[in-house]
Structure 1
Amino acid sequence: MPKTYDHQVTVEKTPGYFVTRDVPKRIFEMDPTIKLILVVRDPVTRAISDYCQAMSKHAMKSFENMALLDERLGLVNTSWGAIKIGVYAKHMEHWLKVFSLHQIHLVDGQMLIEEPAREVAKVETFLGLPKYINDSHFYLRGFKGTFPCLIREGKPHCLDEKTKGRDHPVVKESVLQRLRDFYRPFNAKFFQMVGRRFDWS
């Protein structure tokens, strides 16, 4: 981490931190007063997005063949990273053993796409920053589910569609339902742990 002065806020973004077991303790040892931001979204959607990213780098079997060990029996491939990451309750347990919940701000990943200014405003409040971000800082391309663009110097700067907002494959409804059923108890536990519900079916 770079040196940070009293009038500055330093932010580091690393998705791997949340799922790496020994990271909470190491971060606490570095700074026990740190504020943590966690972006979460429907774990089924997140798994499909993870699959799309992997597919962009190398050929893979279909999502259905990756997600289920046996589609006929509905056996979920719990060893596949795209599935494991979405078991948020398991990972959150490690963080709550070290940090208090008031140090962790949860961002609704879907709302970050649909209403970015509102979600970022909550982050500003959590970090104790003056209100600055509003709707004028974003350009919504008008397509539901696509990532918003930032407005800089009066012009939209959009994330590369090759890395964000890729088209998701059409996944069999039976496989989606099996994954929803798989995640349901983990989601319920996560909601209880953080004292908040998200709109995940």
Structure 2
Amino acid sequence: MKNKALQEQRIRGYFIEATKEILKSEGLKSVSVRNIAEKAGYSFATLYNYFKDAKDLVFLCVQDFQEECSAHVVTRSAKAARGGKKLRAILLAYLEYFVQYPGIFELFFMEKLSELNKQPETASMITGFPDRLCEEEWKYLIANKTVSAAAAANKRAALLYGLSGLLLLYINRQMPAGYPAFLKAANTFIDSQLKEMNT
């Protein structure tokens, strides 16, 4: 019985990894039960033994991508000093991840939620993600009276909307032209929001 459970877990993993690969390279438009099954090396009928439909798999991938992005952010911001500098490093690593995987950004911020999952918590899980990455640093800054709770709330909202807008324009319109110009614009925007907290 134990071997059967391990085999089922392994097969589920193949389907999830196949879906992630399709999402990263081709985007949501290419996700179908047949494409996933073909990439995983199984029949589409087998997929239905483990998942309700392709949306079920896509939702699991959103969770996996968030964990992957979180790990990337932790690695890239590990050496930054606590507070404003750490926040800045986290936000730049967040941007870097989505520039590297534009299909994941589209999945998170451009697809209709009905294409992902109809559960109400899906929206807050996705839109609240950048804020959750920074949660500990905001608490640290508020506790050290570097910023008030009210000011932090305003800056958090501005960063969410501003960074999403920067990514949207860059990924879909190549504006500004080239990654160095995008990075410069991102740095300028982040610095404008964190200017008094970079101590």
- Output the TM-score relative to the length of structure 1: 0.32
TM score, norm. by length of structure 2 = 0.32
Q: Which has the higher contact order (CA 8 A, sep 6+)?
A: 1
Instruction: Indicate the structure with greater strand content.
Output: 1
Q: Which has the higher helix share?
A: 2
Q: Higher Cα Rg: structure 1 or 2? A: 2
